Amino acid sequence: MEALSSSFLPRFPDCNLSSAVGIEKNPQTNIIAIYSFTNFHEPVMNLISNSAEGIKFKTMHMHTISMNKTDKQSLLANMFKSVDDFVCNHLDLPLRPSIDPKHVLSGNFSPVDELPPTPCEVVQGSLPSCLEGVYLRNGPNPQFIPRGPYHLFDGDGMLHMIKISKGKATFCSRYVKTYKYTVEHDLGHPVFPSGFSSFNGLMASMARVVLSVARVLAGQFNPVINGFGMANTSVALISGKLYALGESDLPYEIQVTSDGDIITIGRHDFHSSEPFLSVTAHPKIDPDTGETLAFRFHVVPPRLTFFRIGSDGRKGPDVPVFSMKSTALIHDFAVTKNYAIFNDGQMVISPLELLRGRPPMRTDPVKVPRLGIIRRYTKDESGMWWIDVPGLNMSHSVNAWEEDDGETIVVVASNLSSVEQALERLDLAQLTLEEIRISVKAKKVIARHPLSSKVLDMPVINPAYAGKKNRYAYAAVVATPMMIVGVVKLDLSLSSDDCCDCVVASRMYEAGCTGNEPFFVPNDAAADEDDGFLVTYVHDEIRKESKFLIMDAKSPP
């Protein structure tokens, strides 16, 4: 397909791996909500259709963030900062590539400042008349240049939005004004520790723990009451409201103004009668009921908690899961009409690692991954069952559904086959799309096979088919070192033991271009499952500008 390409801004605050779960469109607000984990900078892709026009917008320049922000704090705050500087300069071990800001924040991954609503002059082609609304991408973007260790996932959440109306576009970039962002903005430097990068050697780790406790006791910040997340992972429409999410905290409600700006309303607990501190960054919204299904994980029992949010925006009772014996880093899950499916994989959280000066997140090569299946409307975990699935470390769920009158559960997901590289060498990680068929009666996997030999992740579908049997999926093509080089369309109906490649169409990007995860936007009166558009951002490393790519998702190969 011919892509509608637009030169929007020279660069985004890209972060290594991005994860996409889908797009939703609210008929009242006309918001297209994007579930993006982080943002890649990658180069390749083949068109999925031949029917698109080319559009281009004038480039808007975004400036890198200043290294000279003013410290406005008291003598005590300056003393804490001096101790932090000492830890960074004298106690830290030599920085590994995964936590070295000079490596992590280089090139297109460099942080950028906010950009107020800015009209984009169309200089080539036109936007499809049926596209009305806003397109949002969320991803990590540190508001300060790091003084010490920094991981890809440590950045403050920043939303990049295109507002499309009557063939015209406005672009805006805004930080999610989280508690963490606000405290550090007022202080003029970072103070919150990171589970991914702060624990770099025993001496540095212990010093940062003591320093963090001192800051809390001194009233510099209070993470227990106010949270400490960055809301830097995804965006979701839940019960008609728009939220920025990150799995270490509660969601932050955001609002789009009529002039194309983004406002943070505040941290939200969905009117829960039970106190809780976090929500997955990849909730599942039922397109038929408007209900949202979600979970959170913990370092103490119960290590997994499943819950639902009604269409009225109110959270239901918790369903604690005590049958998980260790804390798994569960990033995503799958949902059918009657079940929720969780992957208890080899990426785990071990607090005792802190005593060794290591991050609490690690991989456990001895652990055998499992899938846990629980009834969607259960009141407790009594009917939950687990099955061993060796080698399955789910990154992102494509979709799941039931067949054979509910006797078979089908899960389609991306699998991190090189799990040992997931945290330290994410740029070398290998991901494949798989179909897994589970017998409800026998409580075992009855079939499992790859859907393509390509390295694929960030899969999306037509959101109207969430939790139901669907035919088409779209996924990003990932190249080493961690670059999205294209997008493919898969026909899941071709899946079988005899078919090792369900790709029916693809588009690879031009040389020097790096992409973001794709998202599916259905037509207003879509007759077929693939009747819609596939949209994404693509960055041109040579020209230092980015394009908003719109592709015909229905086009034949």
Would you list which residues are annotated within the binding site?
Answer: 282, 331, 396
What is the C-alpha separation between 374 and 302, in angstroms, rounded?
15
Q: String of b and e for 101-118 (b: at least 16 CB within 10 Å)? A: beebbeebbbbbebbebb
Q: Which residues are annotated as a binding site for Fe cation?
A: 282, 331, 396
| Residue 211: closest CA among 82, 100, 89 | 82
| Residues 240, 270: Cα–Cα separation, whole Å | 12
Number of helices (H), then strands (E), in the chain: 5, 35
Contact (CB, 8 A) for 261 and 247: no
Q: Are strands 431-439 and 408-416 parallel, antiparallel or unpaired?
A: antiparallel
Chain centroid to Cα 382, Å, comes to 31
CB-based burial, 400-413: b 16+ in 10 Å, e otherwise: bbbeeeeebbbbbb
Chain-centroid distance of CA 245 in Å reads 9
Closest by CA to 438, choosing from 415, 408, 412, is 408
CA 374, CA 381: separation in Å to the nearest integer?
7
Alpha helices, DSSP H only, in 98-222? 101-104, 179-187, 202-217
List, in sequence order, the alpha helices (H) in 218-313.
223-226
* H/E stretch holding 549: strand 545-552
Structure tokens at 40: 């890649």
Q: Where are the beta strands (DSSP E) in 6-70?
A: 20-25, 31-36, 56-57
Residue 352 structure tokens: 């005792």
Q: What six digits make up the tokens of 540? A: 């041109």
Angle of helix 202-217 relative to helix 75-86, nearest 10 degrees?
Answer: 170
